[in-house]
Structure 1
Amino acid sequence: MSRIVTRLAALAATWALAGAAMAADDIDAGTGWHDPVANVLDVDFGDGSGFHARWSYFHCECGDVLIRFEQGAPEGVTTGEMLLIDGQVLAARGDIAQVDDLETVLQAPLLMLHLSFGLLERAVPEGPSAIGERRHRFSASDNLNAYRLESGRYSGTFDAPWKASGQAWSGAESRRRFEMDFTFTLRDDQGGEDESTITFSGGQDYRPGAFPMQEESSLEGWKVQWISRNETVAHAAESGLTLGALREQTGQTR
């Protein structure tokens, strides 16, 4: 009987390992953390402001990005959608479109997106394919060098010592979940130091999928702002404007 129990235990362990391997094999080994087709990011800032954000990102093969906003603060909740088209022009609707300069609204979700990607790549350089169903604990830190973030138009510096720690796991086929705390040092002009923490949680979907908006999608009621032309004030989209037509305009101005 003891031999049977031992054999069953060995088989169970083998099946568990095989299951973890299968979960890890659903994403190509060369896929990076920055390659999802869609992802959701929840961010809490440990500065006592009460600000919380949930941003949903959809990445088009053409290079466009659609971001859906849900930002909470003591004064209320802000929602809306923003399109970044070819890195040249912004289109937005909802609460977030009420500001004059749409680019000021874009900075936070893009910086936090690339910060989470970069920290995951530092902590789990093997990429999402290395993560199976079992929760994988990770960490990365530096006591001497600041963490420097470059994300195209925007950049940021987080002083040392800093540390990122958390866990990641497979939520379903070609999808990954993670939770992460990023603690870094704040320094003021008088030489004072303080510690701050940003808490991330999110999900990433690496399955090929359709972009939520189509060429014929109407942009009437949206605000438009050409950042490639250094516009600082958004204007109402012209009557009859579609996503396809706006994409054509970006091609004409390259």
Structure 2
Amino acid sequence: MSNIVILTGAGISAESGIETFRAETGLWAQHRVEDVATPEGFACNPELVVDFYNARRAAAAAAAPNAAHKALARLEAEHKGKVLVVTQNVDDLHERGGSCNLVHMHGALNSALCATCEHRWTAPMEMRAGDACPSCNAAAARPDIVWFGEMPYQMDLIFEAIGEADIFAAIGTSGNVYPAAGFVAEAARAGAHTLEINLEPSAVGAQFDKALLGPATKTVPAWVESILRAGA
């Protein structure tokens, strides 16, 4: 009975129509990181940042979970050991696909955060710069997103789970963003079998024990099926 930790990135949601960041026509080709994904960018032009995430929230709401999301939910439901999905994605496709044991390490589009008191609440479909916090009434609402230069959420929980994992899999990740890109090294040190599932090897692909290359909607369900059949 194995414990499984799965890291997911933009590649798992791409087949649902969610734009990735690093593709030639992706989000970073359309926007400067400094303008829309840093605390400094928000301080300089909060309207631009809020509008950027409003558009992403609408796109995520219009998308549907795909076979890869649903396969991971099946793994969680049917596997006898522990399954934790750690996602770098800010969409809610894992939840809508059926996953429950889930960490959004980079935040979530459907959540708003008060920069003054750190209260969180469900974000409206269209946030406005200067929205008031429903708890302290400060005009300090911001998207509940971990921007560059900020600490990802629940890192203690994530590292504890990786330390107890028998299998670590990364799905659809670029391997360019730390600390997530360092998870495979942590898992290997803890003795886990490591697997990368991706369209092509990531920047840290050589560190994995094995790779499955191809579309996530094909490779992930096949991998889940193999795990469940083996009863590992």
TM range (shorter): under 0.3
Greater fraction helix: 2
Greater fraction strand: 1
What TM-score does the superposition give when structure 1 sets the normalisation length? Answer: 0.23
What TM-score does the superposition give when structure 2 sets the normalisation length? Answer: 0.24
- Which of 1 and 2 has higher RCO (CA within 8 Å, sep 6+)? 2
